[in-house]
Structure 1
Amino acid sequence: MLPSLQCTLAILLLIASDVLAAPRPNTGSSTTIPLVRRAHNRRTEKDWGEWAKSHREMLISKYGGSATPVKRGSGTNLITNQNADSSYYGSVAIGTPPVSFNVILDTGSSDLWVADSACEIGCKSVPTFTASQSSTFKNLSKPFNIQYGSGQAAGILGQDTVQMAGFSVANQAFGVCNDVSSGLLNNPVSGLLGLAWNTIATSGATPLWQTLAGSGAWDSPVMSFQLTRFVDDNNAQTLEPGGSFTMGFVNESLYTGDIDFQSIPSGQESYWILPLTQINVQGNALTFASSSSSSFAAIDTGTTLVGGPSSAIAQVYSEIPGSAPGTGNFEGYYTYPCSTAVNVSLAFGGNSWSISPADFKLTQISNSQCLGALFELETGGSAPAWIVGDTFLKNVYSVFRFNPPSVGFAQLSEAVTAQNGVNGPVPSATIGSAAAAVSATNGSDALSSSGESVRASTLTTLGLLLGGVVVGIMSVF
């Protein structure tokens, strides 16, 4: 997600949800990166109001309210669900020797940044990067700054070897931040990994994923997500298994049927944009012109909820009896009777995909009233009008394809949905051997001259498996 993702990161970290990962059997070089989710504490109506206001402001800020072939392969990063579906993080390893860091996985932004060891404010108890301990780090002597609705992350732009899911990229540019606004990072998360296109990178650098996909390092030019649900689990821990993030393949054990791919509009390779053509609410269809930019939606794993134009959101809630606009910190949101099971589905030019009533209900704020997960959001500039986050993405297997540029969704398998709300141990942060090594140089993606394995190193447990090789099928955490 965009800089707002980092904001969302802080907020997402407040909710926690489980991500389960079931990597496919090892057929060649496959690695798995588990997603982890943190358990959430019970909150008051005031707490939820402050969270809702912060989440909305941060999104407004993020989306502009302002020659020798290398061995190809595939890998999976098990992710963690933090604070009952507030955010999902995985892990990367940076430097020589490699050190693992947990980072929010954000398809709504394009920069990688981590907290610097020199950071004092906003980095308390957060694992930080020490440049002097890496023999391959280079200071690019350029400032780095990302603004959020509630703060910023700023520092310098550096360059080093970055590993993830069994892949290694040399000379990857990333932000090393010594100025991080309080509340933006929550232990054990140290930063954010942007997974959108290079055209919106604040640093101007080619994103890690795009270097790998563009160099042919992957078996298939795709990356995919499967996210767990814990938002409706009162016993959820701050960190829970979050699901999986795969590179270079789709895990057929995680979905059923076909993947419904829809193309990104021509020339719109910035965010992962799709036209939102229809919303079905309680059996009634609201349609939108697919050719209109007002229907464009960014598919954003770094955003917790779903935001859209005020007029469209009002139409959605008009189909829900007893709903009403929120006030105070809940301005821009809507409440509705908790006794109502709300059935909503979204279509992006192809199949219609349902959002579980459990995901639509963000929380209960009084004896009878609940807060809806779709809210009003006015974006600016060339940013898409809709931001579709984890409220929707927990209900599908999502695939982001480099070539041709497109996003696909598929129905989750029964084995996967059965793991929602199932508590379990959080993945450990480890480093495995690299299936492929590429180099990011001056914005171009060039294959390295060798596919040597990256030296393995034992790391401190951070709640995520980064670049860990997985053999067979991993059960949900």
Structure 2
Amino acid sequence: MLPSILLSSLLVASTQASPSSNQLQGKSIGIVRHRHPRSPENLGHWAKSHRDGLLEKYGGGSSSGKTKRNSGTNLLTNQGADSSFYGSLAIGTPPVAFYAILDTGSADLWVADQKCTAGCRGVPTFDATASSSYQNLSTPFQITYGSGAARGNLGQDVIQMAGFAIEDQTFATTDEVTEGVLSDPVSGIVGLGWQGISAARIMPFWQVLAEEGLLSEPLMSFQLTRFNNDTQVQQLEPGGTFTLGATNTSLYTGDIEYQNLVGNGNTYWLLSITTLTVQGNSIPLGSGTASQAAIDTGTTLVGGPADAIAAIFDQIPGSQPASGNYDGYYTYPCDTQVNVEMSFGGRTWTVSPADFRLAAIDDQSCLGAFFVLDIGGSAPAWIVGDTFLKNVYSVFRFDPPSVGFAALSGTALAMNGANIEPPTATIGTVATATGRGNAASSVHSGAMVVFSLLPPCPLFTVPPPPSLARSRK
């Protein structure tokens, strides 16, 4: 099965559901979300894996001249009822396209290698021998994520993403991946955290562009869709928008409220939660590190300290701790609308009851999307994932290091549950620029993305795999 791509320019099914190109100065990436298991048996296994994996991810996993600045936007895909969101990138010469999870909670880029022997069945893989620009560094690589681990070797090649490219970007090709981390068509992970948490100690793609001053604005932004409350949800749905080097004013209203990162800004996208209320009642958070949270697009739910999670569910009559595979989670009556509000030093942001409800485990009991995650050590006390981020327009800013949130616009909200096709991908041209790059020569910045009902003239186009085609009434 051929890999698919969502890079410089996109074929979209509806102009209403797509951000207008005249509101951006560049390129964007379409996001896809991962399939969420719906049966009680699969849900229990998924819930345990999600919690155990985050313990590993945050609890000590492995370890000149320039052209004018640009930005870019691609549409995202949402796979598995909001389980995760992925975009795409292209690697090598000639470029080969791959889907990858966009993860602000990690900082390494890797894709499954053609020689992968574990955890890669049915997944598009990278063939280093087919790229004339690939350089094998013969350096072992290993990393642990919320959903498992991956290991392989480091190399360098041309990496293209959101209309930008970097020559000799260091990344990993993996020959062993924990089962369940990858599922067709996703081939890897793009780390969008800071270099300080890179297992390979390599500057991430986005940070190279920001350091070199090649972005119109030193930031990247997300708008994520919601389909977990859609009874007709398909395996793949439109996932929203990732924009590199700009924000899209059609997707939010009012101002973006920024909060400076905790610490030196070279590890996680770390903020302090200042208030948390449930059903109108305040939850004690503690002081200092007890209230610090990593803002993580690669995590589905919200994890926090045991006492705070218990206090949350104390406000919900009929809730109780779960057991077995659901250890660390809580159940509550499905007919209860749970209202959660959070702030990070400024405005208060609401978590939709639809997002708080992870899934029904029987006719009356639902599983909450806030769960116990006592990691300890130097890891953040809280991991705030897509359960929260689907409710805001989020912006990750390089300078000054900060995270901003804004209210979603009517255009963005209309994408939730929208009956349209997931985005189709093309690879467009990339214009050349000069810079030091990550490990060697050049940095490229691409031309502005054009959104239209007709495909542009790409270098090549890879249609969606037939098995992922969506049936529409």
User: Do both proteins adopt the same fold according to a TM-score greater than 0.5, normalized to the shorter chain?
Assistant: yes
Shift of 1:24: 3.8
> SS at the partner of 2:424?
coil
Is 424-433 or 205-214 further displaced after alignment?
A: 424-433
Is 1:373 the counterpart of 2:356? The answer is no
> SS at the partner of 2:208?
helix
What's the counterpart of residue 248 of structure 1?
Answer: 245
Shift of 1:27: 6.8
Is 1:55 the counterpart of 2:57? The answer is no
Which of residues 236, 251, 255 is equivalent to 1:239?
Answer: 236
Q: Distance in 1 between matches of 2:404 and 2:148?
A: 33
What's the counterpart of residue 319 of structure 1?
Answer: 315
Which structure 2 residues correspond to residues 15-414 of structure 1 after superposition, within 5 A?
A: 22-26=18-22, 30-37=26-33, 43-64=38-59, 67-148=64-145, 151-288=148-285, 292-414=288-410
Shift of 1:453: 7.4
> SS at the partner of 2:462?
coil
Shift of 1:330: 0.8
What's the counterpart of residue 457 of structure 1?
Answer: 459
Kept after mapping to 2: 8 A contact 1:53/1:331: yes
> SS at the partner of 1:429?
strand
Shift of 1:420: 0.6
Q: Distance in 2 between matches of 1:256 and 1:120?
A: 47
Kept after mapping to 1: 8 A contact 2:103/2:191: yes
Q: Distance in 1 between matches of 2:411 and 2:376?
A: 40
Distance 1:411 1:211, change over 3 A: same
Kept after mapping to 1: 8 A contact 2:25/2:246: no
Q: Distance in 2 between matches of 1:351 and 1:274?
A: 14
Q: Distance in 1 between matches of 2:344 and 2:224?
A: 20
> SS at the partner of 2:202?
coil
Kept after mapping to 1: 8 A contact 2:77/2:236: yes
Distance 1:65 1:234, change over 3 A: farther
Is 245-254 or 20-29 further displaced after alignment?
A: 20-29
1:187-215 CA deviation, whole Å, 9 max, x = no partner? 00000000000001001110000001111
> SS at the partner of 1:380?
coil
Q: Distance in 2 between matches of 1:243 and 1:452?
A: 21
Distance 1:59 1:440, change over 3 A: farther
Q: Distance in 2 between matches of 1:102 and 1:198?
A: 22
Q: Distance in 1 between matches of 2:25 and 2:282?
A: 45
Distance 1:81 1:348, change over 3 A: same
Kept after mapping to 2: 8 A contact 1:147/1:153: yes
Give the alignment's TM-score, normalised by structure 2.
Answer: 0.88
Shift of 1:333: 0.4
Q: Distance in 1 between matches of 2:57 and 2:34?
A: 24
Is 391-400 or 66-75 further displaced after alignment?
A: 66-75
* Aligned-partner residue type, residue 383 of structure 1: A
Give the alignment's TM-score, normalised by structure 1.
Answer: 0.87
Q: Distance in 2 between matches of 1:37 and 1:198?
A: 25
Shift of 1:64: 0.8
Give me the identity figure in percent: 55
What's the counterpart of residue 3 of structure 1?
Answer: none
Q: Distance in 2 between matches of 1:175 and 1:364?
A: 38
Shift of 1:381: 2.5
